[in-house]
Amino acid sequence: MRVMVKAIFSVETANKAITDGSLGDTIGSILGDLKPEAVYFGLQEGARTAFVVVDVTNSSEIPSLVEPFFLAFNARVECFPVMVPEDLMAAGPDIGAAVQKYG
């Protein structure tokens, strides 16, 4: 199952990592461990944010996805399932059944 991890870095912690030169190495280490399918960086809520898509086989893997961001960047982290277009197409029959039952 694909999961998106959204990590909003603490401004103070990220600023310190930038000024001491550790930001890139730390992010590189985290991403090396997570082996993401895709990674995007941007701003959310006025702070540096990473959007990381990973494939997990078991929910017990979630701590290994989020803890590095908590510990390294004092980040606020969310984790939620996501789909690619092929996944959405495969879900069509289930969506249709829900429409028939609850729509």
pLDDT in tens, 59-87: 999 999 999 999 999 999 999 999 999 99
Q: What is the largest CA-CA distance in the chain?
A: 58
- 4-45 pLDDT tens trace: 999 999 999 999 999 999 999 999 999 999 999 999 999 999
C-beta of residue 11 within 8 angstroms of C-beta of residue 75: no
For residue 27, the Cα-to-chain-centroid distance in whole angstroms is 13
Backbone dihedral region of 51: left (phi > 0), alpha (psi from -120 to 50 degrees) or beta? beta
Task: Give me the helix-helix angle, 11-19 and 23-34, nearest 10°.
Answer: 110
DSSP character at residue 58: S
Is residue 36 left, alpha or beta, with left meaning phi > 0 and alpha meaning psi from -120 to 50? beta
What's the predicted TM-score (pTM) here? 0.90
